[in-house]
Amino acid sequence: MGRRAYLGNLELMVLLALIRLGEHAYGIPIAREIEQASGREVVLASLYATLERLEGKGLVSSKLGEPTPERGGRAKTYFQATAKGLREVRITQRALQKLWQGQPQLEGRRA
């Protein structure tokens, strides 16, 4: 078995949010998507750190948008999951599903 990096919890959630949002994904919508799913507040700084780490691994690509006045003249950075990113999510999904199967404690509604 080759040495591969596992996706962290936030990394996986960010990649899934990017897949759901498509090409209009930037900081705020990504944070909202994760907040709605997890019910926890997302610190934007840790979100950007995660996105930059994923970009460094080649799992995410980014492009700069136009500066807008409501952002104090600052541009949005749009993010998108790359083909490698999608493959990593599928691999992680399969691994998690295998670990999930046959666990009676995890099948009911209560933990």
Interface residues toward other proteins, by CB under 8 A: 3, 5-6, 8, 11, 26-28, 31, 43-46, 48-49, 51-53, 56-57, 67-68, 70-72, 74-77
| Rounded least distance, CB 48 to other proteins, Å | 4
- Phi/psi of residue 64, each to 5°? -85, 135
- Phi/psi of residue 78, each to 5°? -90, 135
Nearest to other proteins of 67, 94 (CB atom): 67
From CA 75, how far away is CA 28, in angstroms rounded?
A: 13
Indicate the SS3 state at residue 12. Answer: helix
Nearest to other proteins of 23, 70 (CB atom): 70
| Rounded least distance, CB 109 to other proteins, Å | 29
15 and 85 Cβ atoms separated by less than 8 Å: yes
- Phi/psi of residue 49, each to 5°? -65, -40
| Rounded least distance, CB 19 to other proteins, Å | 20
Nearest to other proteins of 3, 98 (CB atom): 3
Nearest to other proteins of 46, 102 (CB atom): 46
